[in-house]
Structure formats: C-alpha cells, structure tokens
C-alpha cells in the first residue's frame, strides 16, 4: 500500500504482532532486510537479503539467480541457534508457501507446501480426526523445518522422528529442477533432506502420514520423582504403556534431583471440542537480570509443588499437554536482549553416569533454567543421514546468555558428552566445536554430496569449515 515513513517514525506501533520492537533502523542505501533471529536470539546476524516467495513457481528463479552458497531456507525461526541463519548471505523465507495441496480422507495422507505450520495442520485436520504423527514441543514450526531438523517428540520411543512419517517430498534443486524423492526414487536424497538442515534445497511440498485419533483429549498422568534412578525406572515402566513420555527436571535441586514425569495417551473418546486459548504475548525483551538463579530457583520450586499436587491421572486438552509454552507468545524474550542458549544432547543408554555428571556440573555452576527436560529415546533407526535422535537419554536445558561464563559451562558439558559417546542437537546449537560435531555425526561427510550448491548456513560453515 504505502510507506508511512514519517507517520511511523519514532512511534513503536506494533501493528503486525511481529517483532516490531527489535527492528533496526534501515539505511536507505542498502536493500532492506528485516532483522532475522533464531529462537535463542543468539547469535545476532545481518542478512543481505530475505527472499519471500509466495508461490513455488518463484523458487527456481530465486535459486537460479543466487550465487553458490548464498541461500538458506527459513521457516518460523524456532531453531535455537544458527542452523536457520545465514549470516552475511541470504534467506528464502518459506512461510508464504503455506498451502495444503491434497488430503486423502481415508488414509490420512496430506500433501502440503513447506511453509505450512504444524499449528495449521492441527487446526485443519484435528477436527477431522487426524493428528500429527510426531510433534515437537511447539506447534509453531513449519513442515519444512520439521523435516530439515528431523524433529522428535514425546512419542519418540514409539513413532521415531517426524521424518519417519514423511512419505515423499518434492525438492527444488538448481540443476535438476523439481526432484521427487520417496522410498523408490531418489531415496538417498530423501534421507539426506530429512535432518539435512535445509542444505539440500527448498522443499516444495511433502506428503505426511497423519495419525488417526478419536479427539483432541489426552489421558495424562503426572508422577513426581526425586532421583535420576527413579526417572529411569519410570521411563522403563511407562514406555510400554504410554505413547507419550517426558520429564521436567529441576536442575537447581542439585544432588537431590527432582522432577515431574509426564505420560499420556490419546483419549479413546472423542469428547468435546477444544477451544484454542490465546494467552499473553511478551511485547519486548525483558531485562536480562529478571531471570537469575534466585528467581528460577523459586519458579522451579513452585512449579514442582504445583505439579506434585496435581499428580495422578486426568484428561487434558492436547494443547496444554503438548504445547504448554506456546500459551505465552514469544516467551524467548524472557531471557532479555542477549538471548539464551539451549543445550540439548543425547547420552547413550549404557552411560547413565554421564547424565548425572551433566546435571551435577550444571547445578554446581549455579546457572540453569526452568525448562530442564529429560526423555528416553527409542531404538527406531534414524530417518535421516544427519538425524539427531538415537538410543539413549536426551537432556535439554536453557541458559540465559551471559557471555563467557555461559560458554565455558557449555564447554565443560561438551566434555561430558564427548567422553560419554553422546551427541549434540544442531537445531539447538549456536556454539559447538567442529570436533564435537564430528564426534556427534561421524558420517557427516557422506552427506556433503547431497548439499545443494546454492545453499549454506551459519551453522554449517561453523562446524565444517565450509565456505
């Protein structure tokens, strides 16, 4: 419509519901790029340009005109570190490629463009009795992002990763045009793209196998636990009986680890419709000091108390079970302007002591978060070449970015992970060393031939030394 350059100057009118507060003033001399962040808001980057195709027919042109290594697909920016960023280069924002192209009512197979969000799929298909085969802890990721990071959920021990339910994709490649990949044709390219961090090309559309459910309700159970050993017992005991299992841990409790074990199944009765609640949204980055060891300690104690009091079985709406954090818009701004880092690793099953060692080091550091998560991965074979989940225990924790002390704690955690034969999750990472990446994904070089020549990312350059 028109540029209200003068009217808006100096006012912070947040008309868009988007990140108005964090915008930088654009100099007229450069091509306008909007500031793009990952979910952790660290590192800060400057992109040369952000392409925003509205239609798949525009993507080949964008790729054709781009220099080698200059592009990276971008979705809802829920990767925590720099795997969704391309500092100094360009992004292809896929969010407008958000159309559902086909649905088979009898089989639950859906074909959709890569920018369709999981939230959108739920809104459209849950009323028809279908749910996501695998869902991460937020509904605000795109299908393309879910594939590129081969995301997992609370049902990993049963269903594997998101990629395991992708039957077919169409991939924009600069030399070969639109490449169809499924189990029969280009199956290796499919395996490269699942967990491929967006580096194999732009996904035009994907066929996802949805899962039949009776309704939007979950039969959930909360079980408090007070040691790592009891977590393992609960996990072993629950994984056979429950489709979804995950634990929240209080990482400030030190030696006396405590937590809440969440487990659940889809309710077998349809029940009433669930109304989507829209909670508050953080308007701007809160002062960084608000989250400190005392406030988090207090939060964790309260959280534990509250949930222990609610222990036992209940029937809850799917959104409060799967997406408790989504009820606060832009909660990442809680961590202040410097952002935060997430540390998610997996430790092989035979090395349980390493998990204890990790938690101990965190407790000793006095840093740590209110979002500690423990989950036992299942034995499902990896769906992608660079898939992160593997048999073992995964630990995920948030840390406010406080500069060197935070980074040095993480390096000390790296030691434990590397010595324990574990791996770090690229989607959550902003700082792992090339050596640790190598240890986590020893066969990454086999993936390199599948990289689309036009693609690169900040993460990929950092951990592999690629240009």
Partner 1 sequence: MQTTMTDAPASYLNQATSGAGAMKKIVVLGATSGIALEVQRQLAGRRCELLLVARSAERLTELQADLSIRGAQKVLAYAADLSAVQHHAAIVDFVRRQFADFDTVLLAYGSMQDQKNSEASVDVMLEELRVNFVSACAILSLFAADLEQRRTGCIAAITSVAGDRGRRSNYVYGSAKGALSLFLQGLRSRLHPAGVRVITIKPGPVQTAMTDRMANAARFADTELVARDIVRALERRSPDVVYTPKMWRYVMTAVEHIPEVIFKRLAF
The residue ranges that bind partner 1 (CB under 8 A) are: 1-8, 13, 15-20, 23, 26, 28, 31-32, 34-35, 52, 54-57, 96, 99-103, 123-124, 126-127, 273-276
**Rounded to the nearest 10 degrees, what angle do helices 352-365 and 228-239 cross at?**
130
Minimum CB separation of residue 91 from partner 1 in Å reads 13
Nearest to 26 by CA among 59, 42, 2, 3: 3
**Measured from the CB atom, is 105 or 184 closer to partner 1?**
105
Minimum CB separation of residue 258 from partner 1 in Å reads 37
Minimum CB separation of residue 84 from partner 1 in Å reads 17
**Rounded to the nearest 10 degrees, what angle do helices 352-365 and 404-419 cross at?**
170
For residue 117, the cross-strand partners are: 142
d(C-alpha 39, C-alpha 334), whole Å: 12
**Measured from the CB atom, is 5 or 467 closer to partner 1?**
5
Minimum CB separation of residue 52 from partner 1 in Å reads 5
Minimum CB separation of residue 100 from partner 1 in Å reads 5
**Measured from the CB atom, is 68 or 104 closer to partner 1?**
104
d(C-alpha 81, C-alpha 370), whole Å: 19
**Measured from the CB atom, is 14 or 419 closer to partner 1?**
14
Task: Give phi and psi for 30, each to the nearest 5.
Answer: -95, 160
**Measured from the CB atom, is 203 or 424 closer to partner 1?**
203
For residue 104, the cross-strand partners are: 109
**Measured from the CB atom, is 64 or 278 closer to partner 1?**
278
Total count of residues recorded for the chain: 467
Query: How far is CA 389 from its chain centroid?
Result: 13
**Measured from the CB atom, is 37 or 225 closer to partner 1?**
37
d(C-alpha 89, C-alpha 96), whole Å: 20
**H helix runs in 103-253, sequence order:** 118-125, 143-148, 156-159, 187-193, 228-239
234 half-sphere exposure, CB direction, 13 A CA radius: 25
Minimum CB separation of residue 202 from partner 1 in Å reads 16
**Measured from the CB atom, is 55 or 284 closer to partner 1?**
55
Minimum CB separation of residue 429 from partner 1 in Å reads 27
d(C-alpha 370, C-alpha 291), whole Å: 10
Cβ–Cβ under 8 Å, residues 252 and 234: no
d(C-alpha 107, C-alpha 302), whole Å: 44
**Which residue has tokens 């574990």?**
422
**H helix runs in 228-381, sequence order:** 228-239, 293-309, 318-322, 352-365
Minimum CB separation of residue 259 from partner 1 in Å reads 33
**Measured from the CB atom, is 12 or 188 closer to partner 1?**
12
**Measured from the CB atom, is 128 or 445 closer to partner 1?**
128
d(C-alpha 158, C-alpha 245), whole Å: 10
Minimum CB separation of residue 142 from partner 1 in Å reads 15
The secondary structure of 20-49 as a DSSP string is GGGPPPPPTTSPP------TT--S----SE
Minimum CB separation of residue 30 from partner 1 in Å reads 10
């Amino acid at each position: 419509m028109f540029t209200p350059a003068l009217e808006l100057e100096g006012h912070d009118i947040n008309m868009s519901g988007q990140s108005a507060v964090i915008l930088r003033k654009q100099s007229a001399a450069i091509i306008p790029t909007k500031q793009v962040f990952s979910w952790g808001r660290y590192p800060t980057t400057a992109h040369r340009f952000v392409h925003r195709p509205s239609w798949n027919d525009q993507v080949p042109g964008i790729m054709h005109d781009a220099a080698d290594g200059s592009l990276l697909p971008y979705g809802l920016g829920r990767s925590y570190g720099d795997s969704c960023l391309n500092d100094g280069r360009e992004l292809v924002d896929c969010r407008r490629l958000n159309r559902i192209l086909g649905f088979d009512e009898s089989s639950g197979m859906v074909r959709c463009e890569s920018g369709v969000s999981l939230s959108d799929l739920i809104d459209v298909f849950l009323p028809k009795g279908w749910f996501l085969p695998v869902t991460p802890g937020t509904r605000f990721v795109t299908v393309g992002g879910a594939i590129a990071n081969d995301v997992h959920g609370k049902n990993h021990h049963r269903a594997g990763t998101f990629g395991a339910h992708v039957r077919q994709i169409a991939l924009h490649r600069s030399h070969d045009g639109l490449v169809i990949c499924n189990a029969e044709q280009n199956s290796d390219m499919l395996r490269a793209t699942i967990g491929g961090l967006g580096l194999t090309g732009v996904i035009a559309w994907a066929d996802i196998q949805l899962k039949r459910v009776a309704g939007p309700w979950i039969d959930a159970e909360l079980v408090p636990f007070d040691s790592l050993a009891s977590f393992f017992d609960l996990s072993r005991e629950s994984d056979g009986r429950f489709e979804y299992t995950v634990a929240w841990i209080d990482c400030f409790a030190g030696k006396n680890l405590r937590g809440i074990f969440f487990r659940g199944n889809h309710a077998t009765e349809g029940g009433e419709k669930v109304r989507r609640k829209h909670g508050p949204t953080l308007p701007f980055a809160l002062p960084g000091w608000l989250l400190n060891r005392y406030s988090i300690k207090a939060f964790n104690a309260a959280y534990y108390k509250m949930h222990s009091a609610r222990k036992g079985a209940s029937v809850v709406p799917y959104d409060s079970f799967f997406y408790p954090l989504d009820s606060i818009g832009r909660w990442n701004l809680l961590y202040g302007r410097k952002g935060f880092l997430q540390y998610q690793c997996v430790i092989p099953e035979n090395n349980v002591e390493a998990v204890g060692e990790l938690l101990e080091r965190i407790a000793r550091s006095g840093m740590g978060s209110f979002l500690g998560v423990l989950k036992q991965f299942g034995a499902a074979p990896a769906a992608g070449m660079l898939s992160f989940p593997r048999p073992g225990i995964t630990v995920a924790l948030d840390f406010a970015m406080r500069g060197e002390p935070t980074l040095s704690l993480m390096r000390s955690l790296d030691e434990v992970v590397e010595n324990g034969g574990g791996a770090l999750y690229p989607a959550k990472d902003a700082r792992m060393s090339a050596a640790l990446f190598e240890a986590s994904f020893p066969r990454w070089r086999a993936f390199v031939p599948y990289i689309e020549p036009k693609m690169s990312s900040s993460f990929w350059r950092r951990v592999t030394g690629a240009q």
